[in-house]
């Protein structure tokens, strides 16, 4: 199976572009889907089931057309929106549903495979889901939530969002990696617990059931397993509690755009993004480094390497990339001789000393402050905590006495000793995560 980047890379070769131009010249009546089928056949673009990868091929052809390599046939206009197949009457309401999920009898997920099941699924979503039945896009898997009490809801899985800034930052991939591996991310496009059902913990329970069933069902249908699942929660209507209870990870928010927002109007509401790793080593499978993204870290990950300072202080939001780079250099050099002032660390490099003092001699109102300096390290600490089942946060306070620094501004009064004598200084409150 070729990934999207492999298809684009193959078709971008000069010899491939020449062949495609030949196809267009020799077949003036060829439409876009016919061209995509011909290109798939000639270049052997087939998925794991042996089917033509026409969707990925069409996307690559449109991008090459936009780059000026050739002109594709006019796109055919759609004949109109098709109505989904549905029942002639609403799905019967479930009866006598218990108030606790553990008491629901014969609870199961029913994979939608027949036309009748599809009609039921569509009817449920059209009548009871805020977004209706779709259409969904890409590779799709649907479930009905069934029980002895009746149908309680359903799931719909389809293609993941093409771009999401917060999701992409959490994964840690760039545009090329996203193009190559996006097919391994599945979107939970529909999740319905019927409004008439009031059952505590049911949502989180069936979500966990769906994550257990989806990988095998998806693989049976499409011949490969997904690595990640994404979903979105409209926090103006829902809190997302069931996602957290089912071990999903909140990674940020959308920008209110959809797949069809070509003019960046952001007309949709922003939603919270949740991710569920089916495969915990998905970053390794994507060829990403252990430091990529915002996932969990081991306690010592990135600390023993020569680039530890870059890992812990890199990209600090100091308002200037040069200052962020200087911070990394200062941290690395100070770590070599932590008991000495920077003037001693610099070993006579007075331009470096002057640059150091220019950097730290900024008022706290600017971007160069303790919060921003520690921001990358704080994020890394949170990631290390995420990798542990239990974390103890041990706190303590200390008074730092600077009475003899007569010209130092911003100091307050601190208690210096047991007699209660007042001195000038700072109060330091530290937290150690262990």
The pLDDT, as a whole number, for residue 103 is 97
With b for 16 or more beta-carbon neighbours within 10 A and e for fewer, the 119-146 pattern comes to bbbbbbbbbbbeeebbebeebbbbbbbb
My answer on whether 123 and 243 are in the same domain is yes
Tokens describing residue 379: 């994020």
My answer on whether 18 and 149 are in the same domain is no
Among 67, 96, 116, the domain-final residue is: 67
Alpha carbon distance 159, 136 (integer Å): 8
My answer on whether 207 and 143 are in the same domain is yes
My answer on whether 414 and 380 are in the same domain is no
In a domain, 295, yes or no: no
153 within 8 A of 210, measured Cβ to Cβ: no
Among 256, 286, 316, the domain-final residue is: 286
Helices (H), 250-318: 282-285, 308-313
In a domain, 91, yes or no: no
The pLDDT, as a whole number, for residue 189 is 96
Alpha carbon distance 197, 191 (integer Å): 14
With a CB cutoff of 8 Å and minimum separation 6, the contacts of 325 are none
How far is C-alpha 118 from the chain's CA centre?
Answer: 30
In a domain, 237, yes or no: yes
My answer on whether 135 and 266 are in the same domain is yes
- Cα four-point dihedral sign 350, 371, 384, 243: negative
How far is C-alpha 368 from the chain's CA centre?
Answer: 29
In a domain, 270, yes or no: yes
Q: Residue 283 — φ and ψ, nearest 5°? A: -65, -40
The pLDDT, as a whole number, for residue 46 is 87
Alpha carbon distance 48, 225 (integer Å): 11
My answer on whether 245 and 128 are in the same domain is yes
Which region, left, alpha or beta, applies to residue 318 given φ > 0 means left and ψ of -120 to 50 means alpha?
A: alpha
Tokens describing residue 35: 């061209």
The pLDDT, as a whole number, for residue 243 is 96
Query: What single string gives the DSSP state of each residue in 198-256?
Result: --BTHHHHHHHHHHHHHHHHHHHHHSS--SEEEEEE-TTT---HHHHHTT-EEEEE--S
My answer on whether 359 and 214 are in the same domain is no
My answer on whether 248 and 234 are in the same domain is yes
In a domain, 398, yes or no: yes
Give the Å distances, CA to CA, from 171 to 32, 100, 387, 391.
Answer: 34, 35, 16, 24
Split into its structural domains, the chain has a count of 4
Query: What single string gives the DSSP state of each residue in 101-141?
Result: GGG-TT-EEEE--SHHHHHHHHHHHHHHSTTTT----SS-E
Q: Residue 388 — φ and ψ, nearest 5°? A: -115, 145
DSSP 412: E
Q: Where residue 350 sits, what CATH number does that domain have?
A: 1.10.246.40
The pLDDT, as a whole number, for residue 263 is 46
Q: Is 381 helix (H, G, I), strand (E, B) or coil?
A: helix
Alpha carbon distance 74, 72 (integer Å): 6
My answer on whether 276 and 251 are in the same domain is yes
In a domain, 2, yes or no: no
Range of the domain at 427: 393-433
My answer on whether 315 and 211 are in the same domain is no
The pLDDT, as a whole number, for residue 258 is 56
Q: Is the pTM of this model over 0.75?
A: no
Q: Where residue 233 sits, what CATH number does that domain have?
A: 3.40.630.30
My answer on whether 233 and 112 are in the same domain is yes
My answer on whether 236 and 264 are in the same domain is yes
In a domain, 81, yes or no: no
DSSP 263: T
Tokens describing residue 410: 């911003």
Below-70 pLDDT ranges, the chain: 1-2, 4, 77-82, 257-268, 416-418, 420
Q: Considering only CA atoms, which of 190, 231, 270 is closest in space to residue 240?
A: 231
In a domain, 417, yes or no: yes
């Amino acid at each position: 199976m070729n990934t999207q980047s492999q298809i684009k890379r193959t078709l971008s070769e000069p010899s491939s572009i020449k062949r495609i131009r030949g196809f267009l010249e020799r077949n003036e009546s060829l439409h876009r889907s016919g061209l995509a089928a011909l290109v798939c056949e000639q270049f052997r673009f087939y998925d794991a089931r042996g089917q033509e990868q026409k969707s990925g091929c069409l996307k690559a052809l449109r991008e090459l057309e936009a780059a000026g390599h050739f002109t594709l046939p006019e796109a055919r206009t759609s004949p109109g929106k098709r109505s989904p197949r549905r029942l002639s009457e609403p799905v019967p309401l479930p009866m006598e549903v218990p108030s606790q999920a553990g008491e629901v009898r014969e609870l199961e997920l029913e994979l939608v495979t027949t036309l009748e099941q599809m009609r039921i699924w569509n009817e449920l979503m059209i009548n009871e889901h805020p977004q209706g039945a779709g259409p969904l896009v890409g590779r799709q898997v649907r479930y009905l939530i069934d029980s002895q009490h009746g149908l309680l809801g359903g799931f719909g899985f389809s293609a993941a969002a093409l771009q999401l800034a917060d999701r992409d930052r959490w994964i840690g991939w760039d545009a090329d990696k996203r193009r190559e591996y996006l097919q391994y991310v599945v979107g939970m496009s529909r999740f319905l617990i019927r409004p008439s059902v009031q059952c505590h913990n049911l949502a989180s329970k069936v979500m966990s059931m769906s994550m257990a069933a989806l990988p095998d069902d998806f693989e049976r249908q499409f011949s490969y397993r997904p690595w990640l699942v994404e979903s979105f929660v409209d926090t103006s209507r829902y809190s997302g509690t069931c996602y957290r209870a089912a071990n999903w990870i909140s990674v940020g928010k959308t920008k209110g755009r959809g797949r069809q927002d070509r003019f960046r109007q952001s007309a949709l509401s922003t939603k919270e993004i949740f991710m569920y790793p089916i495969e915990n080593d998905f970053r390794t499978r994507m060829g990403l480094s252990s430091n990529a993204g915002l996932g969990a870290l081991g306690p010592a990950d990135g600390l023993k390497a020569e680039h530890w300072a870059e890992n812990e202080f890199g990209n600090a939001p100091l308002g200037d990339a040069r200052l962020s780079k200087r911070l990394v250099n200062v941290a690395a050099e100070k770590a070599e001789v932590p008991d000495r002032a920077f003037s001693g660390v610099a070993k006579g490099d007075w331009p470096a000393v002057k640059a150091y003092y220019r950097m730290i001699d900024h008022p706290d109102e600017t971007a160069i402050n303790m919060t921003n300096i520690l921001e990358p390290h704080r994020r890394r600490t949170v990631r290390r905590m995420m990798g542990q089942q239990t974390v103890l946060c041990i706190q303590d306070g200390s008074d730092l006495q600077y009475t003899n620094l007569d010209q130092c501004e911003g100091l307050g009064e601190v208690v210096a000793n047991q007699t209660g004598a007042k001195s000038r200084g700072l109060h330091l409150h530290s937290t150690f995560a262990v």
